Structure 1
Amino acid sequence: MFIVTAVIQALAMALSMFWEILWPLVLGFALSGIVQAVVSHKTMARALGGDSPKNLSLATLFGIASSSCSYAAVALARSIFQKGASFTSAMVFQLASTNLVIELGIILIVLMGWQFAAAEYLGGLLMVILLAVIFRLTLTPRLVQRAKEQAAKGMEGRMEGHAAMDMSVEGGSFWQKLFSGKGFTAVSHYFVMDWASVWIDIALGLLIAGALAAWVPESFWQAFFLSNNPTLAKIEGPLVGPLVAIFSFVCSVGNVPLAAVLWRGGISFGGVVSFIFADLIILPILDIYRKYYGWKMMGYILVTFYVTMAVAGYVVEFLFAALGIIPQNRNVAAITEGFQWNYTSILNIIFLVLAAILIIRFLRTGGPAMLKMMNSSGHEMPSHGEDHHAMHEHEHGHAS
């Protein structure tokens, strides 16, 4: 009976957190779909040929404009690297695509507060700069060449097909692209496929967070994060945060509920931020780096990413403490309050209607056939023109 009660309690907390972040997820993925619909992969690769400040700025912007799925970001980074982007630009791109995307900021604001979203974006930009400096000082042409040779072997990771999909609309202004039939269709396809690519991570993150919140006593977290000694806690937090992430197996926006549990448990502010940053060095993704670029480059990515994540965590902790804006309240409403009829419920209903509209468009324009190819080899995906030809055929068929 005790076990059943504990499981029910964990599930209730997981569902409560899901209800809290549902509308931000729908809004974030819809906005992400809009941006992806007007920026093509070809444009990315052409613009990222070097590692100058301009190249890296564009890599950051393209990352912000891409899917937040960590696996798809890693696969797309390899793709643009093979097409001529510099290795530094490719790594900056995937860093931005998981730490600076729209949906992540919205969810952080709703679940944990604006300070965490501000720290995430500030720390993300800082990581881009740190990574570029470290790569310039330590990355050898020989290691890059080996990585390029390994990448050319085309070993499979995850979400290859999703990363290879380019349904962006060409011709016309931003608004003309967006409000065209093809633009609407492209947004709906990106929306559903982004959901399909991260729902497992979101579900896993919620379930693990619910279990930890329900089953692990506060005293354990306080001892683990040295909460009784604030100075040591601030030193430990950014070092331990990424290590916890590596072994959590949860990436993308799925690790935000886990971050909320860690924050409630007593981890430092910088520790929370470095934990969220570390979704690109979890064990399954490290294995993909090994396949994509070889053992040596995998080790290099792990060490350089870990260092930048920890340093960014320290800088954010120091800066926000100096400004006096680190939150003092560790009670996360989604964990402690449960379901309530409030503005969250109203927004969830509104955005579920939006989701339904996009899903219907997706189903009526050949979406399910493309969904089957999402986790296939990128080489099997239709080309840019074929994507639009298929969409056009479906749209024409429904119009007639």
Structure 2
Amino acid sequence: MQTFLSDIGQALLMAFGMAWKTGWTLVLGFSISAVLQALVSADSISARLGKGTAKEIAFASAAGAASSSCSYASAAIMRTLFKKGAALVTSLAFLFASTNLVIELGIILLLILGWQFMAAEWIGGLVLIAIMSLVVKLTYPKKIAEEARTHEEEGGGHQHHSMPLEGDTWRDRLKDPAAPGRIAQNFVMEWSMLWKDLLAGFLIGGILSVFVPDAVWQALFLVDAPAWLRVPLNAVIGPIIAIFTFVCSIGNVPLAAVLFSSGASFGGVLAFLYADLIILPLLDAYRRYFGWKLAAYIGGVLFVTMVISGIIMELLFSALSLIPEEAPDIQRDLTQFSLDYTFWLNLVFAVPAAWLFWKALKGGGHQGDHEHAGHHDHDHGAHG
């Protein structure tokens, strides 16, 4: 019993270490997202994404990279874009970019797994979009897609509201007296959408790092198998594990670190990171948004794309000798605390975070806040 309680304590310390290591990066990323949501509306974006051309795919990718990194919010925006006339391929490009090309995810990967994973995540995000675009172009189910645009959603179909400001240009919107309050409200919305996923990711990562022996992971990821077998199978196993972890794009980084330090291949870990878009609650959300036919198509396209991208990135980084030779000692790295740069950055970024929360509590715009919260609660019903 004493050993069990000690292990529980170690797992909780690991979870806290993960949260401590990434705290300031979340404030930075959510602040950037809050500003961009206040300056850009989904309507203005969807009007430019209806044909699915290469230029539109690039625009959608850029817009996604500048958008929210929460998988649930990204899926909701993707649904809005598609139902307002955007092509499926550009809608999915936005979805991939908004969860794989965002700055805070890259910084967290840099801090926990190293620059190679940060680079591979961003480069792989572009590879994902390119492969997805090709797959959709070759297999586009036109009839099913058009039916999905008018699909009557279950639960009333709450829409995602990022509450953009009024004004002809972004400079005009930024000068709006309501700008600070609106940005603060968007910032708080980001936290309200993501805190459960982050908490789950930290706890799952901490528990698995302590309670699952390395031998189990090594057997699952075929550590002793030849590369020609291990690389593709790891790329398949990674997304399958992600489907059942219920953790979003930032929350799954700690678990990715555990998997890599326990024997998963570089490409398998990347495929796991990409697969936050096909966790079970989101697959169910796609079904409610579009009907089961298009949901099945989207899930299949995403899975195939993630597996192929994981293999490509493994081969590319291996050819360039950029795969880390040694996995991080995740338990050691995340359970040692000192007055280092993480301490000071967390202290510095706590100030604007506190101000934004305070500003949101005393600000206006409650209608948009309630609408957004309604959507979030609806989408998280299966997530818990």
- Mapped to 2, the partners of 1:285 and 1:335 lie a distance apart of 33
Q: Does 1:125 align with 2:126?
A: yes
Partner amino acid for 1:37? A
TM-score if structure 2 supplies the norm length?
0.91
Residue aligning to 2:39: 38
SS of structure 1 residue aligned to 2:185: helix
Partner amino acid for 1:325? L
- Mapped to 2, the partners of 1:356 and 1:183 lie a distance apart of 17
Aligned alpha-carbon RMSD (Å): 2.1
Deviation at 1:154? 3.0
Residue aligning to 1:212: 208
Deviation at 1:235? 2.7
SS of structure 2 residue aligned to 1:375: helix
SS of structure 1 residue aligned to 2:304: helix
Matches within 5 A, 1:265-284: 265-284=262-281
Matches within 5 A, 1:74-93: 74-93=75-94
Is the Cα–Cα contact under 8 Å of residues 40 and 164 in structure 2 kept in the other structure? no
Residue aligning to 1:242: 239
Q: Percent identity?
A: 41
Report which stretch shifted further, 271-280 or 360-369: 360-369
- Mapped to 2, the partners of 1:120 and 1:345 lie a distance apart of 26
- Mapped to 2, the partners of 1:24 and 1:85 lie a distance apart of 32
Is the Cα–Cα contact under 8 Å of residues 37 and 162 in structure 2 kept in the other structure? no
- Mapped to 2, the partners of 1:115 and 1:275 lie a distance apart of 16
Residue aligning to 2:198: 202
Report which stretch shifted further, 202-211 or 185-194: 185-194
SS of structure 1 residue aligned to 2:150: helix
SS of structure 1 residue aligned to 2:372: coil
- Mapped to 2, the partners of 1:375 and 1:353 lie a distance apart of 25
Deviation at 1:172? 4.2
Matches within 5 A, 1:103-182: 103-150=104-151, 153-156=152-155, 160=158, 163-174=160-171, 177-178=173-174, 181-182=177-178
Matches within 5 A, 1:1-400: 1-150=2-151, 153-156=152-155, 160=158, 163-174=160-171, 177-178=173-174, 181-229=177-225, 231=227, 232-333=229-330, 336-338=333-335, 339-366=337-364, 370-377=368-375
- Mapped to 1, the partners of 2:324 and 2:175 lie a distance apart of 41
SS of structure 2 residue aligned to 1:352: helix
Partner amino acid for 1:29? F
Residue aligning to 2:382: none
* Unpaired segments ≥5 residues, structure 1: 379-400
Deviation at 1:119? 0.7
SS of structure 1 residue aligned to 2:178: helix
Report which stretch shifted further, 88-97 or 226-235: 226-235
* Unpaired segments ≥5 residues, structure 2: 377-384
Report which stretch shifted further, 25-34 or 197-206: 25-34
Is the Cα–Cα contact under 8 Å of residues 153 and 290 in structure 2 kept in the other structure? no
Q: Compared with structure 1, are the counterparts of its residues 192 and 202 closer, same or farther at alpha carbon in structure 2 (3 Å cutoff)?
A: same
Deviation at 1:242? 0.6
Deviation per CA, 1:258-286: give whole Å up to 9, x if none.
11111111111111111010011111111
Is the Cα–Cα contact under 8 Å of residues 65 and 98 in structure 2 kept in the other structure? yes
- Mapped to 2, the partners of 1:197 and 1:104 lie a distance apart of 16
Partner amino acid for 2:79? R
- Mapped to 1, the partners of 2:350 and 2:324 lie a distance apart of 31
Q: Compared with structure 1, are the counterparts of its residues 360 and 368 closer, same or farther at alpha carbon in structure 2 (3 Å cutoff)?
A: farther
Partner amino acid for 2:209? A
TM-score if structure 1 supplies the norm length?
0.88
Q: Compared with structure 1, are the counterparts of its residues 173 and 70 closer, same or farther at alpha carbon in structure 2 (3 Å cutoff)?
A: closer
- Mapped to 2, the partners of 1:245 and 1:181 lie a distance apart of 43
Deviation at 1:179? 5.9
Deviation at 1:77? 1.3
Partner amino acid for 1:326? I
Is the Cα–Cα contact under 8 Å of residues 32 and 66 in structure 1 kept in the other structure? yes
Q: Compared with structure 1, are the counterparts of its residues 343 and 255 closer, same or farther at alpha carbon in structure 2 (3 Å cutoff)?
A: same
Partner amino acid for 1:191? F
